[in-house]
Amino acid sequence: MRSKFFPFILILIFIIIFLFFYKGLSNYNIYTPNINVEKDIPLFSANLFESNVEVNSKEFFDPKKLYLLNIWSSWCVPCRDEHALLMDLSKNKNITLIGLNYKDRPDNAKNFLNELGNPYSQILVDETGTKAIEWGAFGVPETFLIYKNKVIKKYIGPLNQQLLVEIKSLIK
């Protein structure tokens, strides 16, 4: 009698498992971060790239200025792709570009900047990646438009020509 019910129970278990997984395939949760954030910049302290002097974010960012904080690294291929656009944007006097060098070796970062140019007025160092997490970054590159010590726009991934036009229209 036990051998008669075993195949039936086994088939029933497989059907239940199949239905469970099939339902899971059609019920996906994709998180899309908010790019229009309007939140205060995080409070942190970091070392400057060239001088190794520690700065505090509260004193570093002037509330009367417009900033573009770009999280980058020399090992990041998309960072290399967007770098020419940052060089173009650095010529605009209405905005100050700040770099946050993410989990990078100082020599590699210096070589990267020597090869492609330095669009940043200042570069902060994030050796452990915790500063980027405090900003809410998911990876590199990510860029934050800052005004009055608030993040007003977040760009996930590399900047492109269309985003550059958008940024230039925002900073006029």
pLDDT of residue 138: 85
pLDDT of residue 87: 96
| Domain contains 18 | no
pLDDT of residue 27: 66
| Domain contains 17 | no
| Domain contains 112 | yes
| Domain contains 154 | yes
pLDDT of residue 37: 61
Q: How far is CA 114 from CA 110, 119, 120, 163, in A?
A: 6, 11, 12, 25
Nearest CA-CA partner of 50 in 91, 115, 99 = 99
Q: Is 3 left (phi over 0), alpha (psi -120 to 50) or beta?
A: alpha
| Domain contains 141 | yes
Helix (H) or strand (E) holding 133: helix 130-135
How far is it, in rounded angstroms, from Cα 35 to Cα 151?
A: 9
The CATH code of the domain that includes 69 is: 3.40.30.10
pLDDT of residue 7: 80
Phi first, then psi: give them for residue 66, nearest 5 degrees. Answer: -100, 130
Beta strand pairing status for 96-102 and 39-40?
A: unpaired
pLDDT of residue 28: 61
Nearest CA-CA partner of 70 in 116, 26, 27 = 116
**Is 135 within 8 Å of 43 (Cβ atoms)?**
no
Tens place of pLDDT per residue across the chain (172 aa): 567 777 888 888 889 888 888 887 776 665 555 555 678 889 888 999 989 899 988 888 888 999 999 999 999 999 999 999 999 999 999 999 999 999 999 999 999 999 999 999 999 999 999 999 999 898 899 999 999 999 999 999 999 999 999 999 888 7
| Domain contains 19 | no
Which range marks the domain in which residue 64 is found? 39-170
**171: three-class secondary structure by DSSP:** coil
Number of domains forming the structure of the chain: 1
| Domain contains 10 | no
pLDDT of residue 94: 92
pLDDT of residue 116: 96
| Domain contains 31 | no
Provide the whole-model pTM.
0.77
What angle do the packed helices 77-89 and 161-170 form, to 10 degrees? 40
